[in-house]
Amino acid sequence: MATRRNSTDDPLAPLTLAVGQEDLLLDRAVQQVVAAARAADPDTDVRDLTSDQLQPGTLAELTSPSLFAERKVVIVRGAQDLSADTVKDVKAYLGDPVEEITLVLLHAGGAKGKGLLDAARKAGAREVACPKTTKPAERLSFVRSEFRALGRSATPEACQALVDSIGSDLRELASAVSQLVADVEGTIDEAVVARYYTGRAEASSFTVADRAVEGRAAEALEALRWSLSTGVAPVLITSALAQGVRAIGKLSSARGGRPADLARELGMPPWKIDRVRQQMRGWTPDGVSLALRAVADADAGVKGGGDDPEYALEKAVVAVARAARSGR
């Protein structure tokens, strides 16, 4: 899915510029550079910094000559948010990069921080495009590329069925492709996808989300416990909950029309428009806001902000289910 605009495709180029807002692709761009560096030198020193951690003078310290001439990878996330003084440091470094050091800048693109973006391109950065996938066709292309990358064949119908089943989250799509490849031999067709998800739908993050946004708290909690017991990652459940609540909010604020028209406007398949219409009964704008806050709290909890991820998820599921009934 990620594409390069620069002619060089050497992950160990002095500068890699990953541009976009798709977290999975940004992470993969970083992983590719780090893997290449450690293949060249297992003792590579990796420094992964956020924009607020890279203060004026920090880059000079990180790139100063070493007595041992060690290979180093310096990753800067959110480069568009760097302070003006730090941007000056980075631009100065781009004019005279240090041998054996690979600098990776992750930039959201757009107008903010465009001066640094332009300077990196002018310096000959190896560029990796990491755009958000906003259209169903882009997600379908992503799934096809994932199967190809894993050396497996999947029919067009199977790819479409997977996108329809999983939704818009690239991490979940990538995980589903990997799981199918690991579990199924031969060409993956639509029947394989249907059997796979029919057999495991009860344990999926989307089942939890569907029951919660429908206000069916007891069933949602049952699906949640089953999901966790079968190894579904908590972060996938919070992602599915967020997608479910956002779909309610999008459709409730959208202009009326046929499912096909709304599908184009909102980036959902027509069948999902029909399903969300049924699920949104009982929802209010305040309910959507409360549910999104509850899911955000749970997401922080499962990512290390709390001591009990399971409790954080249960609390969020109950909150979403209650919000779903706030207008009844």
**8 Å CB contact between 29 and 117:** no
User: Any idea what the CATH number is for the domain that residue 174 is in?
Assistant: 1.10.8
Task: Among 79, 102, 130, give the residue marking a domain's end.
Answer: 130
Q: Are 289 and 224 in the same domain?
A: yes
Work out the number of other CB atoms within 10 angstroms of the CB of residue 305.
12
Q: Are 308 and 209 in the same domain?
A: yes
Task: Among 130, 158, 190, give the residue marking a domain's end.
Answer: 130
Q: Are 153 and 125 in the same domain?
A: no
Which token pair is 118? 């332009």
Q: Are 110 and 94 in the same domain?
A: yes
Rounded to the nearest 10 degrees, the angle between the axes of helix 217-229 and helix 234-253 is: 150
Strand order in the sheet with 45-50: 3-4, 126-130, 15-20, 101-107, 72-77, 45-50
Strand pairing category for 3-4 and 126-130: antiparallel
Task: Among 164, 180, 201, give the residue marking a domain's end.
Answer: 201
| Residue 234, SS3 per DSSP | helix
Please tell me the distance from the alpha carbon of residue 165 to that of residue 136, in angstroms, as a whole number: 12
Please tell me the distance from the alpha carbon of residue 114 to that of residue 100, in angstroms, as a whole number: 27
Put simply, whether the predicted model's pTM sits higher than 0.85 gets the answer no
User: Any idea what the CATH number is for the domain that residue 30 is in?
Assistant: 3.40.50.300
Structural domain total, the chain = 3
Q: How far is CA 118 from CA 85, 135, 176, 267, in A?
A: 17, 27, 37, 31
Low-confidence ranges of the chain (pLDDT < 70): 1-8, 66-69, 197-204, 230, 254-271, 305-306, 327-328
What is the number of residues in the chain? 328
Q: Are 156 and 221 in the same domain?
A: no
Residue owning tokens 């199967």: 147
Residue 13's domain comprises 3-130
Q: Are 154 and 266 in the same domain?
A: no
pLDDT of amino acid 6: 42
pLDDT of amino acid 2: 43
Q: Are 148 and 116 in the same domain?
A: no
Q: Are 145 and 263 in the same domain?
A: no
Q: Are 114 and 141 in the same domain?
A: no
**8 Å CB contact between 59 and 135:** no
The 3-state secondary structure of 161-230 reads: HHHHHHCCCHHHHHHHHHHHHHHCCCCECHHHHHHHHHHHHHHCHHHHHHHHHCCCHHHHHHHHHHHHHC
| Residue 19, SS3 per DSSP | strand
Residue type, 178: S
| Residue 49, SS3 per DSSP | strand
Nearest to 22 by CA among 11, 10, 30, 14: 30
pLDDT of amino acid 252: 80
Q: Are 96 and 196 in the same domain?
A: no
Which token pair is 112? 């903010």
Q: Which residues have CB under 8 Å from 301's CB, separation 6+?
A: 308, 309, 311, 312, 313
Please tell me the distance from the alpha carbon of residue 163 to that of residue 157, in angstroms, as a whole number: 10
Q: Are 103 and 141 in the same domain?
A: no
Phi first, then psi, for residue 29 (nearest 5°) are -60, -40
Q: Are 173 and 292 in the same domain?
A: no
User: Any idea what the CATH number is for the domain that residue 225 is in?
Assistant: 1.20.272.10
Phi first, then psi, for residue 96 (nearest 5°) are -150, 70
| Residue 114, SS3 per DSSP | helix
